[in-house]
């Protein structure tokens, strides 16, 4: 149907196909009225059957068209065109006319492998710059993903499709349509996955997912279905990026993990805050988690009770107080001013002489404490030592490949420093090496299992063989870690960087010697090995024991074993 359309709204000539997605296709176009090249997004006609969508679509297109920023793909026009469908009936074709941008989709760049950390940070900064602008304009994107980010030949970042996701998600379009427009569940925020109301912090979470994918080459959560992925966004913690790609710095990894906090109040509260921490991490430093300054967030999320705005407003009102007594003296009493200054100088000098003449213990003998050295101690004993010293310790768990689990890595205040009694002090405790969730490898071919291991940043060791009754030859039965010979199966959490050894099936089964044993026991044992059993009675003897068997030792899986047994009286 779309192929029959050549001109829209009497002015836009359709050209070659630029791309196609689940809910729309994008074509090159020419605005004949202004003689300029444009990109035209043609949405599915089925959306236009919903009146709520058409209303919301026009409103959101108008809001997007008002946004003019170098990092945002401009929207020039939007509307609906009546076209003839293949069945001969007229249908409404929603369309959006956008700025024509030359370049590549970020999704295509990621498909070639992880990006350099500096480049990933630069692109993420461009996305956040666009979001900072749109959020101030009151527009939440709702569908930040690599497929909605363009990178121009000169490296400029361009974000597109502002407002379209909201137009569809808030209409009565069916769930399948909404899912297609909102992109894959890989970029959902937890609140989106739960079906809750979204705000600017939803875009920041999705940007964190995109940054994770740029750094590692894969999304933080993967599953067999969108529902499974959405569930992980709600309930599971992602593997830190530096555990997947060791070239990612701990500082950059910390920024990503902060952006992916499940609770929207625990993640970045504004694009500016996210961008500031990203710039610090790109410089190799772990950002402070200092609260951001008062800004437009109060408009989006409510007034910050700790805000200084109220006190500043009070000062401004006091400064303009009309009830102040009117000054009648034309100039200050100079003699009084100089006399007052002289008195103050004398008082200050006297106070300084008195203070410096006293021993510190005479001023505040019990107010200062020296920070004990607890680095390398067990967490419980070290924290107790700090508490006994009069400090207020706060434990922070952190993965470490250099310090054993349970030992203190560092404290926020250096040992030997004198601080006030009751001072807060952070105690960083090692949780051991970072862990990786290794999914089940059973039934995978050896080459596929090795690829899976290496994708997770683990090390492939060796492969050994073992008999198994059902897993085909050459496929994985289980695995061992390093020098440990204990075989594991199913999904396991293993230390990052572990060496994984594969155990492969030989395609054979070991058959014991059943001669002299009851035929019923032999038959049950063979069936448990998934082998077929043929019984051959021998009337020359009695007792029901096996007198002969057709094979023993290693035999192919699902072989037939003939048992000869005594059946005589």
pLDDT of amino acid 367? 58
Output phi, psi for 474, to 5 deg: 85, -10
Domain that holds residue 425: 367-430
Q: Looking at the domain assignment, is residue 215 inside a domain?
A: no
Q: Looking at the domain assignment, is residue 411 inside a domain?
A: yes
Task: Answer for the pair 70, 156: CB distance below 8 angstroms, yes or no.
Answer: yes
pLDDT of amino acid 326? 43
What's the rounded Cα separation, in Å, for the pair 81 and 390?
Answer: 74
Residues 485 and 501 in one domain: yes
Residues 465 and 444 in one domain: yes
Residues 474 and 488 in one domain: yes
pLDDT of amino acid 87? 67
What's the rounded Cα separation, in Å, for the pair 41 and 136?
Answer: 26
Domain end, chosen from 386, 413, 430, is at 430
Q: Which two tokens stand for residue 247?
A: 């070239």
**DSSP single-letter state for residue 116:** P
Q: Looking at the domain assignment, is residue 535 inside a domain?
A: yes
pLDDT of amino acid 85? 64
Residues 439 and 488 in one domain: yes
pTM over cut 0.85: no
DSSP 165-205: HHHHHTSS--HHHHHHHT--GGG--HHHHTT----HHHHHH
pLDDT of amino acid 137? 83
Residues 464 and 489 in one domain: yes
pLDDT of amino acid 143? 86
Q: Which residues are catalytic?
A: 143
Buried b (16+ CB within 10 A) or exposed e, 508-530: bbebeebeebebeebbeebeebe
Domain count, the chain: 3
Residues 557 and 523 in one domain: yes
pLDDT of amino acid 366? 53
Residues 424 and 486 in one domain: no
Task: Answer for the pair 472, 507: CB distance below 8 angstroms, yes or no.
Answer: yes
pLDDT of amino acid 303? 38
Residues 371 and 418 in one domain: yes
CATH number for the domain that contains residue 545: 3.30.10.20
Q: Looking at the domain assignment, is residue 352 inside a domain?
A: no
Q: Looking at the domain assignment, is residue 406 inside a domain?
A: yes
Could you read off the pLDDT tens digit of each residue along the chain, which spans 569 residues? 444 557 888 889 999 888 776 667 888 999 998 889 999 988 777 666 666 666 667 766 777 777 888 999 988 888 888 776 666 677 777 888 989 998 999 999 999 999 999 999 999 999 999 999 989 888 888 889 998 899 999 999 999 887 665 554 554 344 334 443 344 678 889 998 888 888 899 999 999 999 999 999 999 998 888 888 888 898 888 999 999 999 999 999 999 999 999 999 999 999 999 999 999 999 888 776 543 333 434 334 443 333 333 334 333 333 344 444 444 444 455 566 777 787 788 788 777 766 566 544 444 445 578 899 999 999 999 999 999 999 999 998 888 878 888 999 999 888 888 887 888 898 999 988 888 888 989 899 999 999 999 988 899 999 999 999 999 999 999 999 999 999 998 888 888 888 999 999 999 999 999 999 999 999 999 999 999 999 999 888 988 999 999 999 999 999 999 999 998 76
pLDDT of amino acid 537? 92
Residues 439 and 499 in one domain: yes
Residues 491 and 520 in one domain: no
What's the rounded Cα separation, in Å, for the pair 178 and 170?
Answer: 9
């Amino acid at each position: 149907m779309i192929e029959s359309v050549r001109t829209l709204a009497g002015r836009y000539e359709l050209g070659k196909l630029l791309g196609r997605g689940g809910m729309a296709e994008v074509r090159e176009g020419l605005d004949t009225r202004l003689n300029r090249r444009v990109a035209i997004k043609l949405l599915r006609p089925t959306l236009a059957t919903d009146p709520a969508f058409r209303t919301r679509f026009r409103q959101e297109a108008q809001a997007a068209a008002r946004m003019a920023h170098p990092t945002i793909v401009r929207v020039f026009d939007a509307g609906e065109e009546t076209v003839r469908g293949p069945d001969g009936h007229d249908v409404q074709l929603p369309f959006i006319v956008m700025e024509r941008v030359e370049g590549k989709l970020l999704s295509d760049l990621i498909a070639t492998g992880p990006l350099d950390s500096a480049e990933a940070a630069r692109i993420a900064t461009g996305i956040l710059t666009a979001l900072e602008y749109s959020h101030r304009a009151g527009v939440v994107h709702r569908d930040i993903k690599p497929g909605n980010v363009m990178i121009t030949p000169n490296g400029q970042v361009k974000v597109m499709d502002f407002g379209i996701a909201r137009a569809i998600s808030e209409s009565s379009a069916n769930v399948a349509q909404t899912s297609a427009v909102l992109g894959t569940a890989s970029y959902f925020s937890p609140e989106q996955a739960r079906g809750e109301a979204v705000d600017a912090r939803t875009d920041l979470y999705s940007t964190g997912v995109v940054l994770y994918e740029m750094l590692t080459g894969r999304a933080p959560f993967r599953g067999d279905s969108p529902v499974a992925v959405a569930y992980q966004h709600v309930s599971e913690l992602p593997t830190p990026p530096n555990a997947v790609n060791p070239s990612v710095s701990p500082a950059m990894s910390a920024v990503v993990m902060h952006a992916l906090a499940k609770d929207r109040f625990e993640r970045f509260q504004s694009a500016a805050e996210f961008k500031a921490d990203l710039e610090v991490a790109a410089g190799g430093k772990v950002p402070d988690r200092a609260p951001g300054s008062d800004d437009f967030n109060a408009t989006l999320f409510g007034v910050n009770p700790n805000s200084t705005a109220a006190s500043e407003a009070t000062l401004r009102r006091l400064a303009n107080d009309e009830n102040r007594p009117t000054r009648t003296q034309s100039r200050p009493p100079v003699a009084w001013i100089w006399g007052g200054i002289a008195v103050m100088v004398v008082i200050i000098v006297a106070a300084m002489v008195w203070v410096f003449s006293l021993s510190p213990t005479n001023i505040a003998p019990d107010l200062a404490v020296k920070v004990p050295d607890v680095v390398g101690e067990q967490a419980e004993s070290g924290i107790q030592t700090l508490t006994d010293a009069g400090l207020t310790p706060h434990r922070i768990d952190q993965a470490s490949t250099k310090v054993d689990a349970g030992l203190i890595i560092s404290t926020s205040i250096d040992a030997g420093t004198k601080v006030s009694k009751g001072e807060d002090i952070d105690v960083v405790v090692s949780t051991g090496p970072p862990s990786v969730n290794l999914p089940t490898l059973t039934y995978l071919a050896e080459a596929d299992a090795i690829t899976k291991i290496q994708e997770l940043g683990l090390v492939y060791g060796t492969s050994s063989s073992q008999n198994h009754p059902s897993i085909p030859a050459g496929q994985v039965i289980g695995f061992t870690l390093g020098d440990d010979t204990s075989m594991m199966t199913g999904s396991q959490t293993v230390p990052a960087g572990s060496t994984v050894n594969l155990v492969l099936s030989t395609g054979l089964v070991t058959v014991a010697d059943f001669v002299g044993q009851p035929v019923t026991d032999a038959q049950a044992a063979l069936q448990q090995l998934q082998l077929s059993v043929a019984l051959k009675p021998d009337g020359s003897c009695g007792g029901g024991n096996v007198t002969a068997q057709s094979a023993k030792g290693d035999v192919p899986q699902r072989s037939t074993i003939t048992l000869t047994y005594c059946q005589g009286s």
